[in-house]
Amino acid sequence: MPEAGQNAPSPGAKPKIRVLLVDDHQVVRRGLRTFLEVQDDIEVVGEAGDGAEGVAQAESLRPDVVLMDIKMPGTDGIEALRKLHELANPAKVLIVTSFTEQRTVVPALRAGASGYVYKDVDPDALAGAIRSVHAGHVLLQPEVAGALLSQDDPLGGQGRNTSLTDREREVLALIADGRSNREIARALVLSEKTVKTHVSNILMKLDLADRTQAALWAVRNGLTD
């Protein structure tokens, strides 16, 4: 049921993507809210000025996607990311920041970010990024992926692929292509449940934490075109 004061969606209407804004600059949050509120399929459900407040808001509001800055006073974005992933129903987290250094990018992805864009991103591209991570895709700007791939061991993992089955390699290549489980299931004519099992097995075999790490591992090890 919708909360008091909220309008119930019309019958058959697709639920909006619920977004929480976490940034210590009020003017940034205001700008993001102003743009996102004109999107038909996106709803800003709350704001927070630091990581600790963001985690508390996420636990209370249960957003689908959190737009998170990294550098904030008190609990920063990296620590907030770790805490968000401990929640019962963790949201997808899209990092929106002005920092581009590898020492900033890598910890964010290790902590479980689903995507990473810069604050000067085109507004329409930002809306697309929100939709993409909500759908389960991995989203990295090209230079961010390049920075990660230039490292010897960007996100951990054992660098093994001999234990993957042919099907798991197919699934992994599609993860690297940004496909959601549903899209992978359609492409390989499998059930979503089977795809989820393959994804879990891939992460376990390669000692990786999430799809972002799996996607980058696939690129590093030549599983993509």
Q: Which DSSP state fits 213?
A: H
Q: What is the pLDDT of residues 6-54, one digit of tens each?
A: 555 555 667 899 999 999 999 999 999 999 999 999 999 999 999 999 9
- pLDDT at residue 5 greater than cutoff 70: no
Average pLDDT value for residue range 184-200:
90
Cα angle 219, 209, 109 (rounded to 5 degrees) comes to 70
Locus of tokens 């929100």 = 130
Q: By C-alpha distance, which of 3, 119, 5 is closest to 70?
A: 119
Average pLDDT over residues 186-205: 89
pTM of the model: 0.67
pLDDT of residue 220: 72
Task: Compute the average pLDDT of residues 155-168.
Answer: 66
Average pLDDT score over the chain? 80
pLDDT by residue (tens digit) across 141-153? Answer: 655 555 555 555 5
CB distance 195 to 201 below 8 Å: no
The pLDDT score that the predictor gives to residue 16 is 92
Residue 212 pLDDT greater than 60, yes or no: yes
For 82-129, how does the pLDDT look when each residue is reduced to its tens digit (9 = 90+)?
888 888 777 889 988 876 656 666 677 777 788 888 888 888 889 999
